[in-house]
Chain A
Amino acid sequence: MTQENPVIEIEELSKVYTVTEREAGLAAAFRSLVNRKTRDVRAVDKISFAVGEGEIVGFLGPNGAGKTTTLKMLAGLLHPTDGRAAVLGFRPWERNRDYLRRMTLVMGQRNQLVWDIPVIDTFELNRAVYRIPETDYRRTVDELTELLELAPLLRKPTRNLSLGERMKCEIAAALLHRPWVLFLDEPTIGLDVTMQRRIRQFLVEYNQRTGATVLLTSHYMADVEALCKRVIVIHHGKLLYDGELSGLADRFAPFKTVEVELQNGAGGRPLDEYGEVLVRSPGRVTLRVPKIETASVTGRILTDLEVADLTVQDPPIEDVIEQVFSQEATESEEG
């Protein structure tokens, strides 16, 4: 996708790690002290994309696909091995202060809040670090407190907060300086469904209010569906897909899901002839049908059976994603 006014722009970005390898066991451990075997791992392999101002883009891929590595390069924490990247016109890894002041990084699995002191005091610390003027700071804290319902949490020490409460505070702490670009690495990981929804709503609202650009990774498709019109899928460090979320199914899922409601049940008839039966209950059946056969199969179902209702859907996005990665895995094994 091309962007009119890209905030994030990366071109042929690559990152190769050199990892030391050793076999299991004590002897191998000692051997590796003297003679280290190393291997190159291509974590990110010539990725290019651009993200426009105010966009929320979902960055998808299985564990180890290179998502976090890419985010870290964009946040200025890692030097790429090759390629170019510009965020807000800065080269991230030069860690220009003006750049760092305009972006933020939230990592769902790591804390920046100081463990033993009340949350509001960590906020104060970030205020000092980012040199946020008093009035702006007050306004932002008030706003975030309202949006994230932080009021009862601010005076508590971090260690007394639940995981979800802590994440809300983490996000608030990361937004005090009103960054223009947000890198969110699994911001909802480990949270219950209500809290996930809360954080999603917040991100949408924050994005609308501030026009900030957001690049986020998540394992929860609900996050992606709620937040991102556009997704970028990477696997084994390579870019697989960049486009509308809705286009993902067209592109990768060779199946459609056909849901049939039967008037008198199927009368014990096996329904396998129409497609793979996914769920079957009396009077209701869900089938998986190859995309190209969808029309003919639904035609046959309608003539053969007494159908009360029939719907054809794209499979759930989770299944599509799974499909993408398993396909890709077999392809790369064959190749």
Chain B
Amino acid sequence: MYYIRLFATYVRLGALGELEYRANFWINLLQSILELCVALGGLAVVFSHTDNLGGWRPEEILAVLGVYFLVGGLIRVLIRPSMVKFMEDVRQGTLDFTLTKPADSQVLVSMQRVELWRLADVLIALPVLGTALVRLRVELGLAEALTFGATMLSGGLIIYSFWLMLSTCAFWFVKVENIQVIFQSMWQAGRWPISIYPAWLRAVLTFLVPVAFATTVPASALSGRITSSTLWGSLALAAALLIVSRWFWRVGIRFYSGASA
């Protein structure tokens, strides 16, 4: 309850800060729409030659694209800003202020910044997802909605844990922005269902940089393609990564307080 209230405070502060940067919202919206148009154009080109890509129908791939934008937007609203701030704090020594607060340092670091104006990405994802649903002729019942919610949640947690682990490396290397570029480029691959990629890349996108769980898996939950083993696998991986990233965070903090000046 304490952390929920604290999170609400951060959201409020995020909103306050952004009123000062209203232009950002519109520019971001425009940029996201352009990006969406390019992505849709790509889909159109592909499906003018074929009506089936690696076993995926156009509307199914549209669902992947919708989820890609939705999750990408949520990452940029909720996860990335805090992680970027955290790395700045390590470099400038202002992390000390966070560590002297009587709250869980990982939780505090993970929710310290919310960039609401990036909700633009989330907003434009909704019509794409809606269109995909209509084309798929999916009756979104309670079971489907729950499955979709569960895969979205576990996908989000997987990405969060992954990103936290990358950021935690800042304790040792101080400058790790470059590591995040790797994530960004891998993330791009998530706009297509991963089964269309060659096996080695599929393995990378599933196990090394677990993008698949945040895009392909929730999208297949929507189109009813998901198997129960994928669903449970996704949930299990989320739980495991959450534990591992927390452990890694603790190791990082211990290192920080042991060696930093």
Which residues of A line the B interface, CB within 8 A? Answer: 17-18, 43, 69, 72, 75-79, 93, 95, 97-98, 100-101, 103-105, 107, 110-112, 114, 116-118, 121, 124-125, 128-131, 157
The answer to whether B6 and A129 touch across the interface, beta carbons within 8 angstroms, is: yes
How far, in whole Å, are A294 and B146 apart by their CA atoms in the complex? 90
The answer to whether A129 and B103 touch across the interface, beta carbons within 8 angstroms, is: yes
The answer to whether B16 and A76 touch across the interface, beta carbons within 8 angstroms, is: no
Chain B residue numbers with a CB within 8 Å of A118 are: 16
Given known A77-B96, A105-B97, A117-B13, contact A157–B5 (CB-CB < 8 A): no
Chain A residue numbers with a CB within 8 Å of B92 are: 110
How far, in whole Å, are A107 and B89 apart by their CA atoms in the complex? 14
Q: Closest approach, in angstroms, between the C-beta of B5 and any C-beta of chain A?
A: 6
Q: Closest approach, in angstroms, between the C-beta of A111 and any C-beta of chain B?
A: 7
The answer to whether A130 and B97 touch across the interface, beta carbons within 8 angstroms, is: no
The answer to whether B260 and A76 touch across the interface, beta carbons within 8 angstroms, is: no
Contact of A93 among B5, B257, B260 (CB under 8 A): B257
With most chain A CB atoms within 10 A of its CB, the pick from B13, B17, B100 is B100
The answer to whether B93 and A110 touch across the interface, beta carbons within 8 angstroms, is: yes
Q: Closest approach, in angstroms, between the C-beta of B98 and any C-beta of chain A?
A: 9
The answer to whether B16 and A117 touch across the interface, beta carbons within 8 angstroms, is: yes
Interface 0/1 of B12-54, CB less than 8 Å to A: 1100110011000000000000000000000000000000000
How far, in whole Å, are A111 and B20 apart by their CA atoms in the complex? 20
Chain A interface mostly:
mixed
The chain B residue sitting closest to A106, CB to CB, is B97
The chain B residue sitting closest to A104, CB to CB, is B100
The answer to whether A105 and B17 touch across the interface, beta carbons within 8 angstroms, is: no
Contact of A78 among B20, B94, B260 (CB under 8 A): B260
Interface 0/1 of B89-111, CB less than 8 Å to A: 00011101101111100001000
The answer to whether A77 and B99 touch across the interface, beta carbons within 8 angstroms, is: yes
Chain B interface mostly:
helix
How far, in whole Å, are A125 and B12 apart by their CA atoms in the complex? 10
Which residues of B line the A interface, CB within 8 A? Answer: 2, 5-6, 9-10, 12-13, 16-17, 20-21, 92-94, 96-97, 99-103, 108, 254, 257-261
How far, in whole Å, are A72 and B99 apart by their CA atoms in the complex? 11
Q: Closest approach, in angstroms, between the C-beta of A232 and any C-beta of chain B?
A: 21
Contact of B97 among A76, A110, A116, A124 (CB under 8 A): A110
Q: Closest approach, in angstroms, between the C-beta of A174 and any C-beta of chain B?
A: 9
Chain A residue numbers with a CB within 8 Å of B96 are: 72, 75, 77, 105, 107, 110
Chain B residue numbers with a CB within 8 Å of A116 are: 17, 20-21
The answer to whether A121 and B13 touch across the interface, beta carbons within 8 angstroms, is: yes
How far, in whole Å, are A110 and B89 apart by their CA atoms in the complex? 10
The answer to whether A157 and B20 touch across the interface, beta carbons within 8 angstroms, is: yes
How far, in whole Å, are A18 and B259 apart by their CA atoms in the complex? 7
A-B contact list, 10 entries, CB within 8 Å? A18-B259, A43-B261, A77-B96, A77-B100, A104-B100, A111-B94, A117-B13, A117-B16, A118-B16, A128-B9
How far, in whole Å, are A166 and B224 apart by their CA atoms in the complex? 56
The answer to whether A79 and B17 touch across the interface, beta carbons within 8 angstroms, is: no
The answer to whether B102 and A101 touch across the interface, beta carbons within 8 angstroms, is: yes
The answer to whether B13 and A125 touch across the interface, beta carbons within 8 angstroms, is: yes
The answer to whether B261 and A100 touch across the interface, beta carbons within 8 angstroms, is: no
How far, in whole Å, are A314 and B255 apart by their CA atoms in the complex? 47
How far, in whole Å, are A69 and B258 apart by their CA atoms in the complex? 11
Q: Which 10 A-B pairs have the closest CB atoms?
A: A100-B102, A112-B97, A97-B102, A128-B9, A116-B17, A101-B102, A117-B16, A117-B17, A128-B6, A105-B100
The chain B residue sitting closest to A98, CB to CB, is B102
Q: Closest approach, in angstroms, between the C-beta of B75 and any C-beta of chain A?
A: 22
Given known A76-B99, A117-B17, contact A129–B258 (CB-CB < 8 A): no
The answer to whether A78 and B257 touch across the interface, beta carbons within 8 angstroms, is: yes
How far, in whole Å, are A130 and B102 apart by their CA atoms in the complex? 7
Chain B residue numbers with a CB within 8 Å of A105 are: 96-97, 100
The answer to whether A114 and B13 touch across the interface, beta carbons within 8 angstroms, is: yes
How far, in whole Å, are A250 and B124 apart by their CA atoms in the complex? 75
Chain A residue numbers with a CB within 8 Å of B9 are: 124-125, 128
Chain A residue numbers with a CB within 8 Å of B21 are: 116
How far, in whole Å, are A202 and B116 apart by their CA atoms in the complex? 38
With most chain B CB atoms within 10 A of its CB, the pick from A77, A98, A112 is A77
9 new A-B contacts at CB < 8 Å, known A17-B261, A76-B99: A75-B96, A78-B258, A78-B260, A107-B93, A112-B94, A125-B10, A128-B9, A129-B6, A129-B102
Contact of B108 among A77, A121, A129 (CB under 8 A): A129
